[in-house]
Amino acid sequence: MIPFTYEKADSPAAAVAAVTATPGAKFIAGGTNLLDLMKFQIETPTHLVDIRDLPLTTINDTGDGGLRIGALVTNTELASHPRVKRDYGVLSRAIVAGATGQIRNKASVGGNLLQRNRCPYFYNTDLPCNKRVPGSGCSALGGISRSLAVIGTSESCIAQNPGDMAVALTVLDAMVETIDAAGRTRTIAIADFFRLPGDTPETEFALQPGELITSVTLPPPLGGTHHYHKVRDRASYAFAIVSVAAVLNKDGTGRVAFGSVAPKPWRIKAAEAVLPAGPAAVVSTAFKEAKPREDNAFKILLAERTLALVIAKGSA
């Protein structure tokens, strides 16, 4: 961890101004991912702007039946909120499938969206990684890649987005609200928030430098039955091998997104449209362009079988 200076901001405008004013500055909220990466010098901020005093800690009705979730709401608070449990069960279930009680108590909604990938080579500063050092090469290609992405990858990066919450937000069509260095606010659809690696795997999110997530909004409830199923080697405290977030209707239609299979939560509308035809149809559509590695090709079959499980539960 390189030396840094530290300050607390008291408003979103002050926070973005502070980060913009200092080269190498970063926001910090829960810090559960950032500090981990700073210890390895994968992240090397020279200045930290602590945003936890910002008034972004509440969950409010939006007026149209949806919810606005402050970026600083903790994962635990969000999963425990009565309206989230009642109307957005997929979100509550996705959150509690992730990490541990301790980490969820600290991690914020905004920070969760911004968690970096978990490719083992990204974490090993002895070896090249295009995300860490652009142009240095991808060690995962030809390496250990069982946990990594099977689709949406490029020759420069095959890391997966490991999140749980983001997969649920993706099926819910959440919107990410931000404020930028000039004080302008904007709204980014969750589908556009995560970037595929292409030639620039170091840029994982659709945020500009100094731009701050202020809230996440959920559209009015979808109804249906809500499911989040996470598959992993051990029963808890592990990243997904594959996860499925789904909201299913009685008529067999619904929404579905897959986690830990791609550099972003993987939701393909054309695949969703064939939900009534069953899991094989959905997966063959969603993963048509897949380029798995030898050691993670099983994820496609696993995605199909996990979706089958979710559909079986939904129709039970």
Partner 1 sequence: MDFTTPSGQNPIDRLKIVGRPVTRIDGPLKVTGTAPYAYERHDVIPNQAYGYVVGATIAKGRIVRIDTGAAKAASGVIGVITTLEYKPAAPPQRQTANLFGGAEVAHYHQAVALVVAKTFEEARAAAHLVKVDYQAAPGKYDLAGEASGAKPSADPNEGQDAEIFDRVGDFDAAFAAAPVKLDETYTTPCETHAMMEPHASIAAWNGDKLTVWTSSQMINWAKAGLAKTLGIPAENVRVQSPFIGGGFGGKLYLRADALLAALGAKAVGQPVKVTLQRPLIINNGTHRSATIQRIRLGAAPDGRLTTIGHVSVSGNLPGGMPEPAVGQTKLLYAAPNREIYLKLAALDLGEANDMRAPGEAPGLMALEMAMDEMAEKLGIDPVEFRILNDTQTDPRDPQRRFSERHLVECLRTGADRFGWSRRNGTPGAIRDGKWIVGMGMAAGLRLNLLMPSAARIRLDRDGRLTVETDMTDIGTGAYTILAQTAAEMMGVPVEAVTVILGDSASPVSAGSGGQWGANTSTSGLYAACLKLRGAVSARLGLNAEDAEFADGKVRSGNRSIPLAEAAKDGPLTGEDGIRFGDLDKRYVQASFAAQFAEVGVDSFTGEVRVRRMLAVVDAGRVLNPVTARSQVIGAMTMGVGAALMEALAIDMRHGCFVNHDLGGYEVPVHADIPHQDVIFLDHPDAISSPMKAKGIGEIGLCGVAAAVANAVYNATGVRVRDYPITLEKHLAKLPRIA
Partner 2 sequence: MNTPDWELSRREFVVGAAASSVIVATPFLGPAHAAGGTPPHAAVPMMKVTMEVNGSPRSVTLDPRTSLLDTLREHLRLTGTKKGCDHGHCGACTVLVNGTRINACLSLAVMHEGDKVTTVEGIGTPDALHPMQAAFIKHDGFQCGYCTPGQICSAVAVLKEIEKGVPSHVTEDLAAPMRLSNPELRERMSGNICRCGAYSNIAAAITEVAGA
If contact means CB under 5 to 8 A according to the sort of partner, which of partner 1, partner 2, none does residue 198 touch?
A: none
If contact means CB under 5 to 8 A according to the sort of partner, which of partner 2, partner 1, none does residue 267 touch?
A: none
Cβ–Cβ under 8 Å, residues 156 and 122: no
Can you list the pairs that 28-32 forms with residues at least 24 positions away whose Cβ atoms lie under 8 Å? 29/71, 29/72, 29/108, 29/110, 29/111, 30/74, 30/106, 30/107, 30/108, 30/111, 31/106, 31/111, 32/99, 32/103, 32/106, 32/107, 32/111
Can you list the pairs that 133-142 forms with residues at least 24 positions away whose Cβ atoms lie under 8 Å? 134/200, 134/201, 134/202, 138/201
Whichever of 179 and 240 has its CB closer to partner 2, that residue is: 240
Q: Which of 11, 41, 102, 315 binds partner 1 (CB under 8 A)?
A: 41
Q: Does 298 bind partner 1 (CB under 8 A)?
A: yes
Q: Which of 49, 157, 188, 241 binds partner 1 (CB under 8 A)?
A: 241
Task: Of 87, 17, 85, give the one whose Cα is nearest residue 47.
Answer: 17
Order of strands, sheet of 67-70, starting from the edge strand that comes earlier in the sequence: 59-61, 67-70, 212-218, 175-179, 185-189
Q: From CA 164, how far away is CA 130, in angstroms rounded? A: 24
Q: Give me Rg for the CA atoms of the chain.
A: 19
Whichever of 144 and 181 has its CB closer to partner 1, that residue is: 144
Contact code string over 109-138 relative to partner 1, x by CB under 8 A: ---------x-xx-xx-xx-----------
Token pair 């999110």 is found at 205
Q: Which of 146, 180, 202, 205 binds partner 1 (CB under 8 A)?
A: 146
Q: From CA 136, how far away is CA 178, in angstroms rounded? A: 32
Using the contact rule CB under 8 A, the part of the chain among 54-62, 103-111, 143-151, 211-219 near partner 1 is 143-151
What residue ranges bind partner 2 (CB under 8 A)?
Answer: 1-6, 24, 28, 30-32, 35-37, 39, 41-46, 48, 50, 52, 76, 79-80, 85-86, 89, 92-93, 96-97, 99-103, 105-106, 125-129, 132-133, 136, 142, 230, 235-237, 294
If contact means CB under 5 to 8 A according to the sort of partner, which of partner 1, partner 2, none does residue 11 touch?
A: none
If contact means CB under 5 to 8 A according to the sort of partner, which of partner 1, partner 2, none does residue 233 touch?
A: partner 1
Cβ of residue 195: shortest distance to partner 1, in angstroms? Answer: 24
If contact means CB under 5 to 8 A according to the sort of partner, which of partner 1, partner 2, none does residue 309 touch?
A: partner 1
Give the ranges where 40-195 is alpha helix by DSSP (H): 75-80, 82-87, 89-97, 101-106, 109-113, 165-171, 190-193
List interacting residues with partner 1 (CB under 8 A): 1-3, 39-41, 118, 120-121, 123-124, 126-127, 139, 142-144, 146, 229, 231-238, 241, 298, 301-302, 305-306, 308-309, 312
